[in-house]
Structure 1
Amino acid sequence: MIRKIIEIQEEKCNGCGLCASACHEGAIGMVDGKARLLREDYCDGLGDCLPQCPTGAITFVEREAAPYDEAGISRLRQWPCQIKLVPVNAPYFHKAKLLIAADCTAYTYADFHRDFMKGKITLIGCPKLDGADYSEKLTEIIKNNDIRSVTILRMEVPCCGGLEMAVKKALQNSGKFLPWQVVTISTEGQILD
């Protein structure tokens, strides 16, 4: 099919990787120090990568390309994603919308990636299994970075209350007033609120 897709001019690429970080679909990767379109079926044709390129190496073209396949795309934008493993300061926190999710939500809610992770930095954890109070680390992440919003994704089960309480405490202790919301998933995989 003929569609709009990005094209990367390798000779202009300086290897900074900003385009790969900006590509929410994971279509762009770094190969031998240069940006490459790795999966044309992952390129949505919206061009989030274009304004990030300092050398003008990326342009739009209309050409024969595999159709965009949103269904198979991971929305994870950073690694690691476990709350206990993420650094307090990382470039991906700049102007980030945070999704702080209970581990079980990704297994219970079938469209977790599409409906909740898209466009967000995802942090996952389970205070019951990790035996941790995440509030201090989350406070430092929120306080020391330009966070735009926070979504708490939890299960309806009582143990997920620990995650919600930790995030609320972190928001309060950070001294920042950010938009935030809590979304609760049932054990059957439905959104309750």
Structure 2
Amino acid sequence: MVKRLIIRIDEEKCNGCGLCIPGCAEGALQIIDGKARLVREALCDGLGACLGDCPQGALYLEEAEVEAFDPELVTAFQGEQEAEESGAAYGDAGSGADGFGGGCPGLRSLSIDRPAGEQKETRSTQGDPGEGASAKSELGNWPVQLSLISPTAPYLKGAHLLLCADCVPFAYADFHKALLRDRVVAAACPKLDDAGQHVERLAAVIRANDLAGITVARMEVPCCGGLLRIVEVAMAMAGVTLPVHDVVISIKGELKTPQIREMGA
């Protein structure tokens, strides 16, 4: 047992709508007897990515003595969920009620169809990586992984930090021009990385540098919401409030937020 943040549900406020379920990438929440329930404490990472998905305000974080977060257990449960979903898709009546249901939407395999003209344009630049390349890199710092960036790196002083989910540059074609330009980038994955280490590293960066602001660039999949929570906790740990812009990219590579949304002061 460890003392840490854990999700709690106010049953009086919960109406069983289920909107919080896909918001939990780990699959820790289920609708049971008409109410959202925490399946097991060890499945909850305590980052609160699901908080904004509840229209009733029934979800909240509480610091308590609970089971430690267990990523291996999460992986095992997600494997069980995927197996059950595959069985259901093929008419497998053996998907029992003992499963944990509702696998991570971010793991769903999708084939992204694009207009024929767009496909043709993309293929025209294939072959030698140097052929047809006209766009210039806007990368201004190295390393780019948050876990490798030194909080005392000189390029951080007064910089606008781009905290970017690992998948964003692959999905968003205008990444360099629209997001990376004039920003210092720090890349991270809220699902696969150690969130606690990221919080500590980001807090050190915020504390040691007079940052102009932070832009969070994340994918639309629920697990990416943890990136926002990392920023919130890091600012609280550092005792510094910064303007935070939230930019969401769809899995089709489109900007989902029509305009940048201010989160901080």
Q: Could you tell me the TM-score, scaled by structure 1's length? A: 0.61
Partner of residue 93 from structure 1, selected from 130, 133, 156: 156
Identity %: 41
The 2-side partners of 1:96 and 1:71 are apart by 27
The 2-side partners of 1:167 and 1:71 are apart by 34
Indicate conservation of the 8 Å contact 2:158/2:212, yes or no: yes
The 2-side partners of 1:71 and 1:98 are apart by 26
Alpha carbon RMSD of aligned pairs, Å? 1.5
The 2-side partners of 1:99 and 1:72 are apart by 20
Counterpart residue number, 1:183: 247
Moved over 4 A (4+): none
Between Structure 1 and Structure 2, whose CA radius of gyration is higher? Answer: 2
SS of residue in 1 equivalent to 2:192: helix
Unaligned stretches of 5+ in structure 2?
1-132, 258-265
Counterpart residue number, 2:144: 81
Partner of residue 166 from structure 1, selected from 220, 227, 230: 230
Q: Specify the code of the residue in structure 1 equivalent to 2:204.
A: E
Partner of residue 182 from structure 2, selected from 119, 123, 148: 119
Rate the CA distance shift 1:176–1:72 in 2: closer, same or farther, 3 A.
Answer: same
Counterpart residue number, 1:142: 206
Per-residue deviation, residues 70-105 of structure 1 (Å, max 9, x unmatched)? 952111111101011111111000110000000100
Indicate conservation of the 8 Å contact 2:195/2:230, yes or no: no
The 1-side partners of 2:227 and 2:239 are apart by 19
SS of residue in 2 equivalent to 1:75: coil
Unaligned stretches of 5+ in structure 1?
1-69
The 1-side partners of 2:237 and 2:245 are apart by 17
Q: CA deviation at 1:160?
A: 0.6
Q: CA deviation at 1:131?
A: 3.5
Counterpart residue number, 1:102: 165
The 1-side partners of 2:152 and 2:189 are apart by 21
Q: How many residues align?
A: 124
The 1-side partners of 2:238 and 2:231 are apart by 10
Counterpart residue number, 1:64: none
SS of residue in 1 equivalent to 2:191: helix
The structure with the greater share of residues assigned to strand is 1
Rate the CA distance shift 1:74–1:129 in 2: closer, same or farther, 3 A.
Answer: same
SS of residue in 1 equivalent to 2:234: helix
Counterpart residue number, 1:156: 220
